[in-house]
Chains A and B, each alone.
Chain A
Amino acid sequence: MRCTHKSIANVVVLTVALLLCSAASEAAHSPSTGLTNIFSPESTPAKSIFNLSMFVLAVTGIIFAVVFTLLVYSVVKFRGNPADAGREPAQVYGSTQIELAWTIIPILIVVVLFLATARVIHAVQDAPKPATAVEVTVIGHQFWWEYRYPRLGIVTANELHIPVSDPAHPTPTFLQLLSADTDHSFWIPQLAGKTDLIPNHPNRMWMDPQRTGLFLGQCAQYCGTQHAKMLLRVSVDTPEDFGAWVRAQQRPAIQDQKVAAGRRVFETTACINCHAVGGSAANGRFGPDLTHLMSRETIASGAAENTKENLRLWIQKPDAIKPGSLMPAMQLSDADLDALVNYLETLQ
């Protein structure tokens, strides 16, 4: 009976160890689930972290293997035997040499790990900002992201566009991180580690993605009721696409006389208390800028696709998409709602 227990224990522990390793490696290689995987880095800070993490995992893995073996060995080898009942084993009180050994070796390991860590801290955190860098100010709000490109005169929300960075001619993006209310944290696992957005405490981070595409993440610091649906989308564009996107965003809002009724609804209700539309009377700042709303794929900070039905639902009953969000239910008549949505849909 005693032996069975121990072998079960060994099997359990071994399975556990294998599971940990295999899950990590599976995660590293699975394309379908890799969109937020920290082990598939696509930018210099994330790659530096990845290299350090492999080193740290290797060192701790070796420590684990050694101590695990010692533990299993001592539990198996020194198990009591009913025949020994009543007889006590040799009483050993300690050994200075052994204590010294298992003090000094760990200290040496700590020194090595620390030096490796300090190097990457410095490389990532103290990286100089090149003149070619794109600057974006990120402002965390309950529960959405505001992006401002101060040099380009762009204000947008929730979907960040940045240029791909060619290692030969790097165009990294440097983010200035601010918060309008509570603490948030900006985390795109494939591009960089996370950095918090804290009121009265400006932070910065940078990334230089080396392939184009969509990168996902979400707010990582608990910020209130809808922390879970404060999603992040970063579109890494070719230089040409990025340039085109910038030019489109710099234009004032389209003014289409066919949707004047909807525009009137927008400008005469509470919408403009929080939302801005460039070149119109709407200049609210509590909610996302809507000047180019239809250039975005999602609404409600990534919580829903940007479709006509979702826009209607979001305006009339935001709790259906994101309960606890600060967008009020607008209580519009069907006619006003249709007109409003038609107007919003012209904001390309």
Chain B
Amino acid sequence: MSSDAMAIRNVEVGSLPLVETLHGWLTTVDHKRLGILYILSALLFLAIGGVEALIIRIQLMRSHNDFVSPEVFNRMFTMHGTTMIFFVAMPILFGFANYLVPLMIGARDMAFPRLNAFSFWLSFLGGLLLYFSFLGGSGLYGAGNAPDVGWWAYAPLGARAFSPGHSSDYWTFALLVSGFGSIGTAINIIATVLCMRCPGMKLSRMPLLVWLNLVMAGMVLIAITPLSAAQIMLVIDRYLGGHFFDTQAGGSAVLWMHFFWIFGHPEVYVLVIPAFAFLSEIIPVFSRKPIFGYPVMVAATVAIGLVSTSVWAHHMFTIGMNSYANSFFAITTMAVGVPTGIKIFNWIGTMWGGRIQFKVPMLFCIGFLFQFLIAGLTGIIQAAVPFDWQLSLSYFVVAHFHYVIVGGILFALFGAFYYWYPKMTGRMLSERLGKWHFWLFLIGFHLTFDVMHVPGLLGMPRRIYTYEPGRGWDTLNLIISIGAFIQAIAILVFVANLIISYFKGAKAGNDPWDAWTLEWSTSSPPPAYNFATVPVVASRRPLWDLKHPEDPDNQYE
């Protein structure tokens, strides 16, 4: 497509009245616009969830602090967890999948564009429902507003006896509704990857990002359905006289735990596999080498997907399972470390012998590698069941999974933002602000989450709104809170960068990173139809073949 044609089109879009532009975004079925909507809604909820985290951290700055009441504190950590998992992490990753998968396989849209729009709006509605609880949750005099049952809502806390009013109903329906959205998106990604690939794009030639999102979508189908089932059972308990989880009438609290974690653990991989996907695209480009061991990376991902469906009860080592069950979940959990380790080694193998360019996307990916190494090892530590009897439910666990989610997934996401923002907007993000963002966030992250392991070792349980002085937890918690504010400042720098660069960033051109996958062959941002002519590929790196006709990849694959 010529640049003249692009210019004309841009003028036309720019001259639309505001109402029509908004109407266009609201009714869009374009995978790129929906991807951006997913990302923007996730950023909105990220800001809200971040403020909740800061409230938690202010309250915990010192022992016996009374910044918020216990009721408010409990709502804050419930909303923080629920928001960050269901309305930030999942939508933002779905957003990138939506945007990138069709472009990377040379397709003009997702397989089911209207299902795509429906799924997004369901997810967004779920988030609105969750937050509407602040207004509509009471439902009963004296009952709280927002849910305060924790993001696992362990039975019987979610029963009407312990959670009167409607606060946990909003939580239930928010998860149900957004869960259906997630299932829709997962089906769409699977169908798109299996049916919409351009000529020559065999499964064995798909970019790793596409492969990993395919595995992720399969895991969403496995993970979300039991969660939705459990939510429906909870509603039956609360309103239709059921007793699935109602322990006062012979129901089982343990049953809820199994339902929740058979969702909850695959969910961790649903979130981290797309993060792996970003690394698998960004590290090769900035090392100037193809990914090391492509078939092994695919196999390792599928292996993670399979094994991760049999590790869920490692969240339940303290509930009194017998020693055989504990041993089983210990070995499956340790085993999942093997394919994960293989991935880290392959990324190192990709950098090995390369010419690494320390652009901001790559900085975040290198941060990921160091942090995910530690997060993985603290995961292995907790798979040693007796050790976990001490660590589980303590701040050590909180530090561990924030290491995964923030140090891993969020770092990879920031890398993805800096890498694909030029494609989405046509403008580069500022490298200077990006480096400020990276270093500030890195320092804040390590202050908060490195230190957070220690109060756990010193016996501090999670989810307490205050703690006793003299346990050696005060100074540590103060440092943790200071780190949280440094992270918040870094996020402000990031948002400023997103906004300023949108208007004033350098023009990106089609291929600012000299990359190799198909999305860089079209204009930035791509036209509604993505590709003027459907591309034909002969290898995993079609743009490498174009740029190096003397030494194309397909000779070696």
Interfacial residues, chain A to chain B (CB-CB below 8 A): 2, 5-6, 8-9, 12-13, 16, 19-20, 23-24, 27, 30, 32-39, 45-46, 48-49, 52-53, 56-57, 60, 63-64, 67-68, 70-71, 74-75, 78-81, 84, 87-95, 98-99, 102-103, 106-107, 110, 113-114, 116-118, 120-122, 124-126, 177, 181-183, 185, 187, 189, 192-196, 198-201, 203-204, 216-229, 231, 323-324
Of residues 108 through 159 on chain B, the ones whose CB sits less than 8 Å from some CB of chain A are: 148, 150, 154-157
Chain B nearest Cβ from A46, distance in angstroms: 8
Give the interface centre of B354, B386, B390 by most chain A CB atoms within 10 Å.
B386
Residues of B within 8 A of A87 (CB): 355
Q: Find out whether the CB atom of B453 lies under 8 angstroms from the CB atom of A20.
A: yes
Q: Using A80-B355, A121-B323, A122-B323 as known contacts, say yes or no to A93 and B290 having CB atoms under 8 A apart.
A: yes
Determine which of A60, A88, A90, A323 lies in contact with B381 in the assembled complex, contact meaning CB atoms within 8 Å. A60
Q: Using A53-B390, A68-B370 as known contacts, say yes or no to A200 and B457 having CB atoms under 8 A apart.
A: no
Interfacial residues, chain B to chain A (CB-CB below 8 A): 69-71, 74, 148, 150, 154-157, 162, 247-248, 250-254, 287-290, 292-296, 318-320, 322-323, 326-327, 330-331, 334-335, 337-338, 341-342, 344-346, 348-349, 351-358, 363, 366, 369-370, 373-374, 377-378, 380-381, 383-394, 435, 439, 442-443, 446, 450-451, 453-454, 457-468, 470-472, 548, 551, 553, 556-557
A106 to B337, CA, bound (A): 8
Determine which of B247, B349, B374, B392 lies in contact with A194 in the assembled complex, contact meaning CB atoms within 8 Å. B392
Q: Find out whether the CB atom of B356 lies under 8 angstroms from the CB atom of A79.
A: yes
Q: Find out whether the CB atom of B318 lies under 8 angstroms from the CB atom of A196.
A: yes
Q: Find out whether the CB atom of B459 lies under 8 angstroms from the CB atom of A36.
A: yes
Determine which of B294, B327, B457 lies in contact with A24 in the assembled complex, contact meaning CB atoms within 8 Å. B457
Residues of A within 8 A of B467 (CB): 228
8 nearest CB pairs, A to B: A193-B389, A33-B472, A36-B459, A228-B464, A203-B320, A199-B247, A94-B293, A80-B355
Determine which of A89, A193, A324 lies in contact with B318 in the assembled complex, contact meaning CB atoms within 8 Å. A193
Q: Find out whether the CB atom of A98 lies under 8 angstroms from the CB atom of B349.
A: yes
Q: Find out whether the CB atom of B295 lies under 8 angstroms from the CB atom of A114.
A: no
Q: Find out whether the CB atom of A196 lies under 8 angstroms from the CB atom of B463.
A: no
In the complex formed, the residue of A with least CB distance to B379 is: A60
Residues of A within 8 A of B331 (CB): 110, 114
Q: Find out whether the CB atom of A99 lies under 8 angstroms from the CB atom of B384.
A: no
In the complex formed, the residue of B with least CB distance to A120 is: B386
Chain A nearest Cβ from B238, distance in angstroms: 15
Q: Find out whether the CB atom of A64 lies under 8 angstroms from the CB atom of B374.
A: yes
Q: Using A5-B358, A20-B450 as known contacts, say yes or no to A49 and B387 having CB atoms under 8 A apart.
A: yes
Residues of A within 8 A of B295 (CB): 94
A95 to B318, CA, bound (A): 42
Q: Find out whether the CB atom of A19 lies under 8 angstroms from the CB atom of B450.
A: yes
Chain B nearest Cβ from A311, distance in angstroms: 20
Residues of A within 8 A of B454 (CB): 23-24, 27
In the complex formed, the residue of B with least CB distance to A37 is: B458
Chain B nearest Cβ from A163, distance in angstroms: 23
Q: Find out whether the CB atom of B348 lies under 8 angstroms from the CB atom of A6.
A: no
Q: Find out whether the CB atom of B366 lies under 8 angstroms from the CB atom of A36.
A: no
Residues of A within 8 A of B459 (CB): 35-38, 187, 189, 216-218
Q: Using A67-B344, A90-B353, A226-B70 as known contacts, say yes or no to A195 and B389 having CB atoms under 8 A apart.
A: yes
Q: Find out whether the CB atom of A227 lies under 8 angstroms from the CB atom of B463.
A: yes
Q: Find out whether the CB atom of B288 lies under 8 angstroms from the CB atom of A80.
A: yes
Q: Find out whether the CB atom of B319 lies under 8 angstroms from the CB atom of A198.
A: yes
Q: Find out whether the CB atom of B348 lies under 8 angstroms from the CB atom of A64.
A: no
In the complex formed, the residue of A with least CB distance to B373 is: A67
Chain A nearest Cβ from B157, distance in angstroms: 5
Determine which of A63, A81, A116, A124 lies in contact with B384 in the assembled complex, contact meaning CB atoms within 8 Å. A116
Chain B nearest Cβ from A37, distance in angstroms: 5
Residues of A within 8 A of B338 (CB): 103, 106-107, 110
Residues of B within 8 A of A84 (CB): 355
In the complex formed, the residue of B with least CB distance to A74 is: B351
A287 to B40, CA, bound (A): 50
Q: Find out whether the CB atom of A182 lies under 8 angstroms from the CB atom of B390.
A: no
Chain A nearest Cβ from B226, distance in angstroms: 20
A159 to B352, CA, bound (A): 59
In the complex formed, the residue of A with least CB distance to B387 is: A53
Chain A nearest Cβ from B496, distance in angstroms: 21
Determine which of A70, A199, A222 lies in contact with B150 in the assembled complex, contact meaning CB atoms within 8 Å. A222
Residues of A within 8 A of B460 (CB): 36
Determine which of B154, B385, B393, B446 lies in contact with A220 in the assembled complex, contact meaning CB atoms within 8 Å. B393
Q: Find out whether the CB atom of B356 lies under 8 angstroms from the CB atom of A78.
A: yes
Residues of B within 8 A of A71 (CB): 348, 366, 369-370, 373
Chain B nearest Cβ from A61, distance in angstroms: 8
5 A-B pairs besides A125-B326, A189-B390 with CB distance below 8 A are A32-B472, A53-B381, A67-B345, A182-B156, A200-B247
Determine which of A34, A48, A196, A229 lies in contact with B319 in the assembled complex, contact meaning CB atoms within 8 Å. A196
Q: Find out whether the CB atom of B387 lies under 8 angstroms from the CB atom of A224.
A: no
Residues of A within 8 A of B439 (CB): 8
In the complex formed, the residue of B with least CB distance to A202 is: B320
Determine which of B250, B289, B383, B390 lies in contact with A89 in the assembled complex, contact meaning CB atoms within 8 Å. B289
Residues of A within 8 A of B342 (CB): 99, 102-103, 106
Q: Using A20-B450, A52-B384, A81-B355 as known contacts, say yes or no to A227 and B464 having CB atoms under 8 A apart.
A: yes
Q: Using A27-B457, A125-B323, A195-B389 as known contacts, say yes or no to A228 and B354 having CB atoms under 8 A apart.
A: no
A326 to B345, CA, bound (A): 54
In the complex formed, the residue of A with least CB distance to B370 is: A13
Residues of B within 8 A of A88 (CB): 288, 355, 548
Residues of B within 8 A of A196 (CB): 318-320
Q: Find out whether the CB atom of A199 lies under 8 angstroms from the CB atom of B384.
A: no
> Mind listing 7 A-B residue pairs with CB under 8 Å?
A23-B451, A49-B386, A67-B344, A99-B342, A99-B346, A201-B320, A225-B71
A221 to B394, CA, bound (A): 9
Residues of B within 8 A of A198 (CB): 247, 253-254, 319-320
A225 to B557, CA, bound (A): 60
Chain A nearest Cβ from B250, distance in angstroms: 7
In the complex formed, the residue of A with least CB distance to B378 is: A60
Determine which of A103, A116, A199, A220 lies in contact with B248 in the assembled complex, contact meaning CB atoms within 8 Å. A199
Residues of B within 8 A of A38 (CB): 390-391, 457-459
Determine which of A52, A219, A226 lies in contact with B387 in the assembled complex, contact meaning CB atoms within 8 Å. A52
Residues of B within 8 A of A91 (CB): 289-290, 551, 553, 556
Chain A nearest Cβ from B298, distance in angstroms: 12
In the complex formed, the residue of B with least CB distance to A217 is: B459
Residues of A within 8 A of B442 (CB): 12
Q: Using A91-B290, A193-B389 as known contacts, say yes or no to A126 and B471 having CB atoms under 8 A apart.
A: no
Chain A nearest Cβ from B296, distance in angstroms: 5
Give the interface centre of B369, B373, B387, B454 by most chain A CB atoms within 10 Å.
B387
Residues of A within 8 A of B464 (CB): 218, 227-228
Q: Find out whether the CB atom of A182 lies under 8 angstroms from the CB atom of B389.
A: no
Q: Find out whether the CB atom of B334 lies under 8 angstroms from the CB atom of A114.
A: yes
